[in-house]
């Protein structure tokens, strides 16, 4: 496809750009988005039904994220430059002069998400981390906001190209068929995706079945369990309930980190509190007609399947355009029941959650093991003196992010963020799509053996013209290998 060829033609120039050139282009991109803030938000609001305040915050986050990656590019850390000096007394003979750094892999195809028209779309985290790594990007726009996608792409392309990026460093295409065809293009070297588990599985399989297979980084679904201990509910019931309602109703629950199952000890009557908090939520349109249908089906299926009376069934009406207008629904069941039918556990994409009551002698770790595979987040509300070490350990082995208190919605853009967890949360769970490590999805190592300075890439030259961090292993070090831990008697 022509877009793949164009991306390939942009690759060498963008890949070889100096950190300051690449960072400057990214910075300009963030500035142009800021300049066009009002127009962007008007179109986003029309297309997605998300509130202006939410979209304003999301665009700010998107702009900040670009600047964060711009600085990261400037730091030069992403080159991972490692220099092993030649060692004529190497323990295995002669060690050559070996220098390794990370290079961009090539053109990236990014399937944009529908629920974040800025932060996970044309100029969102996947795109920007790939650009920061030095890869041209083709975005397959989400059908939920096509006009916004084109508008963003136009602004972005102008900003990038006016600041030295090659033509076609960023492109947008529309349509599922085109996306699938581009996924087959030999020039495409990595694909990223944010969306449902079913679509993610299908795309991952296609990526793996290409004549030249490529990595597919998909952020898929997650049910995000929340475990509330006895101590927490006794001390903080009101804060927990209001936080829960805010977390499941914000953006109409259309967030991959929305808490799906909230475990609360039985015997505490939180029903009234919950109903009151839910009554204060406003009706919200869902993002697309397709998501509206899916939500209605999953919502009704859950209500039929769960034997207990729901705590509150929110409104759910279709407008003339086929969009659902919704208020949150909170269903309920016992941990015992859910463990008897673990196949009921599913992500319901929208403002729906299940309150799961558990009896005093319940082993929450065993319940969690029965019910959940990998998840993006696991949250524990407990008092600091309660013994939750086993639950933290379970969460560490099953989640990408473990929270103590608070709510998983709202993914901070920062160094230590991890947005990605074991399958089915993420297809390649060594990856994250938010935070500094998002860059590494688009890099691969290349080693240079005995290559003269003039043919070395700048990050590996002794002269180090870009001033990047270089880690040097001196000659002679191998003689001490293995002595760091003396074996005891």
Active-site residues, by number, are 219, 256
Minimum distance from residue 343 beta carbon to its own copies (Å): 13
Q: Using CB under 8 A, which of the segments 253-261, 275-283, 284-292, 386-394 binds its own copies?
A: 386-394
The size of the interface with its own copies (CB under 8 A), counted in residues, is: 105
User: 5, 42, 96, 313: which one contacts its own copies (CB under 8 A)?
Assistant: 96
Least distance CB 398 / its own copies (angstroms) = 10
Instruction: Decide: helix, strand or coil at residue 226.
Output: strand
- How is residue 13 written in tokens? 């120039």
Q: Which of 31, 230, 271, 346 binds its own copies (CB under 8 A)?
A: 31
Lay out the sheet containing 284-285: strands in order across: 284-285, 324-326, 316-318
Taking CB under 8 A as the criterion, which residues in 142-161 touch its own copies?
Answer: none
Binding-residue pattern over the window 158 to 187 for its own copies, x denoting contact by CB under 8 A: -----x------------------------
Q: Which of 103, 108, 286, 354 binds its own copies (CB under 8 A)?
A: 103
User: Within 416-455, which residues bind its own copies (CB under 8 A)?
Assistant: 416-418, 420, 422-424, 427-432, 435-437, 440-441, 443-452, 454-455
* Tokens 């100029």, located at residue: 123
Going from the C-alpha of 462 to that of each of 32, 65, 72, 97, 313, the distances in angstroms are 37, 32, 22, 12, 66
Asked whether the beta carbons of 69 and 128 are under 8 A apart, the reply is: yes
Q: Is residue 308 involved in binding its own copies (CB under 8 A)? A: no
Report if residue 489 touches its own copies, rule: CB under 8 A.
Answer: no
What is the SS3 assignment for 204? helix
Q: Which helix (H) or strand (E) holds 273?
A: helix 271-279
Question: In the complex with its own copies, which residue's Cβ is closer, 340 or 471?
Answer: 471
Nearest distance, CB of residue 50 and its own copies, angstroms: 17
Q: Which stretch binds its own copies (CB under 8 A): 41-49, 69-77, 300-308, 336-344?
A: 69-77
Residues 200-259 that bind its own copies (CB under 8 A): 201, 204-205, 208-209, 212-215
Could you tell me the smallest distance in angstroms from the CB atom of residue 441 to its own copies?
A: 8
Give burial (CB, 10 Å; 0-12/13-18/19+) of 182: buried
DSSP annotation of 426 reads: B
What long-range pairs does 203-209 form, CB within 8 A, spacing at least 24?
203/111, 204/427, 206/180, 207/183
Nearer to its own copies, 355 or 437 (CB): 437
Binding segment toward its own copies, per CB under 8 A, in 21-29, 252-260, 283-291, 330-338: 21-29
Residue (of 224, 221, 356, 345) closest to 291 by Cα position? 221
**Judged by CB under 8 A, which stretch of 17-25, 47-55, 274-282, 355-363 contacts its own copies?**
17-25
* Beta carbons of 140 and 171 less than 8 angstroms apart: no
Is there binding between residue 60 and its own copies (CB under 8 A)? Answer: yes
One of 3, 4, 7, 27 touching its own copies (CB under 8 A): 27
Indicate whether 406 belongs to the interface with its own copies (CB under 8 A). yes
Alpha helices in 78-196 (DSSP H): 125-133, 146-162, 176-184
Residue 373 binds its own copies, judged by CB under 8 A: yes
- The one among 2, 91, 239, 280 contacting its own copies by CB under 8 A: 91
The residue from 202, 239, 280, 412 that contacts its own copies (CB under 8 A) is 412
Beta bridge partners of 218: 193
Q: Which of 84, 126, 219, 347 binds its own copies (CB under 8 A)?
A: 84
100 or 285: CB nearest its own copies: 100
* Residue 23 CB, nearest approach to its own copies (Å): 4
Query: Using CB under 8 A, which of 42, 181, 405, 466 touches its own copies?
Result: 405
**Residue from 38, 269, 320, 481 that binds its own copies (CB under 8 A)?**
481
Tell me: does residue 67 bind its own copies (CB under 8 A).
Answer: yes
**Cβ distance 216 to 183 under 8 Å?**
no
Pull the structure tokens for residue 53. 């305040």
Interface residue with its own copies among 100, 181, 276, 285 (CB under 8 A) is: 100
* H helix or E strand, kind and range, residue 345: none
Which residue's CB is nearer to its own copies, number 84 or number 347?
Answer: 84
Instruction: Decide whether 146 or 422 has the Cβ nearer to its own copies.
Output: 422
In the bound state with its own copies, the residue whose beta carbon lies nearer, of 68 and 261, is 68
Nearest residue to 411 via CA among 432, 381, 390: 432
Instruction: Provide the β-strand partners of residue 81.
Output: 470
Give the CA distances from residue 334 to residues 357, 367, 380, 478, in Å, rounded to whole numbers and listed in that order: 5, 11, 18, 59
Environment class of 471 (CB within 10 Å of its CB; exposed 0-12, middle 13-18, buried 19+):
exposed
* Complex with its own copies: residue 71 or 158, whichever CB lies closer: 71
Task: Compute the distance between CA of residue 364 and CA of residue 158 in angstroms, rounded to an integer.
Answer: 53
Asked if 109 and 127 count as a contact pair (C-beta separation under 8 A), the reply is no
Name the minimum Å distance from CB 64 to its own copies.
Answer: 5
Q: Which residue from 44, 271, 270 is spatially nearest to 152, judged by alpha carbons? A: 44
Q: Which two tokens stand for residue 476?
A: 């002679």
């Amino acid at each position: 496809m022509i877009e793949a060829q164009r991306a390939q033609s942009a690759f060498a120039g963008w890949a070889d750009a100096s950190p300051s050139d690449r960072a400057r282009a990214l910075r300009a991109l963030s500035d142009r988005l800021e300049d066009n803030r009002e127009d962007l938000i008007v179109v986003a609001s029309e297309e997605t039904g998300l509130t202006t305040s939410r979209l304003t915050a999301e665009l700010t986050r998107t702009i900040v994220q670009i600047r964060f990656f711009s600085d990261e590019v400037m730091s030069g850390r992403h080159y991972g430059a490692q220099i092993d000096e030649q060692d004529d007394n190497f323990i295995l003979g002669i060690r050559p002069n070996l220098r390794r750094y990370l290079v961009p892999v090539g053109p990236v195809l990014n399937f944009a998400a529908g629920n974040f028209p800025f932060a996970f779309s044309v100029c969102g985290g996947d795109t920007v981390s790939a650009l920061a790594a030095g890869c041209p990007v083709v975005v397959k726009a989400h059908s939920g906001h096509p006009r916004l996608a084109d508008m963003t792409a136009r602004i972005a392309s102008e900003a990038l190209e006016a600041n030295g990026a090659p033509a076609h460093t960023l492109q947008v295409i529309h349509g599922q068929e085109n996306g699938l065809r581009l996924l087959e293009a030999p020039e495409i070297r990595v694909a990223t995706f944010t969306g449902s588990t079913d679509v993610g599985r299908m795309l991952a399989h296609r990526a793996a079945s290409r004549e030249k297979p490529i990595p597919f980084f998909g952020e898929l679904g997650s049910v995000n369990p929340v475990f509330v201990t006895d101590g927490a509910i006794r001390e903080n019931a009101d804060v927990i309930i209001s936080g829960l309602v805010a977390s499941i109703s914000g953006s109409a629950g259309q967030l991959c980190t929305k808490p799906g199952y909230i475990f609360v000890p039985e015997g505490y009557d939180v029903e009234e509190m919950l109903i009151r908090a839910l009554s204060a939520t406003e009706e919200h349109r869902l993002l697309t007609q397709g998501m509206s249908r899916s939500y209605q089906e999953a919502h009704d299926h859950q209500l039929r399947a769960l034997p207990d009376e729901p705590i509150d069934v929110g409104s759910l009406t279709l407008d003339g355009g086929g969009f659902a207008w919704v208020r949150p629904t909170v269903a309920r069941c016992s941990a015992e029941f859910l463990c008897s039918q673990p196949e009921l556990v599913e992500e319901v994409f929208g403002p729906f959650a299940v309150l799961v009551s558990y009896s005093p002698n319940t082993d929450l770790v065993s319940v969690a093991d029965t019910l959940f595979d990998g998840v993006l987040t696991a949250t524990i509300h407990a008092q600091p003196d309660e013994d939750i070490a086993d639950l933290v350990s379970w969460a560490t082995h099953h989640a990408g992010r473990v929270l103590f208190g608070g709510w998983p919605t709202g993914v901070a853009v920062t160094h230590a963020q991890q947005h990605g967890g074991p399958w089915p949360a993420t297809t390649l769970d060594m990856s994250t799509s938010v935070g500094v490590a998002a860059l590494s999805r688009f890099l691969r190592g290349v080693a240079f053996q005995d290559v003269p300075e003039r043919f070395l890439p700048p990050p590996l030259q002794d002269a180090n013209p870009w001033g990047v961090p270089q880690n040097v292993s001196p000659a002679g070090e191998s003689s001490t290998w293995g002595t760091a831990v003396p074996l005891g008697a």
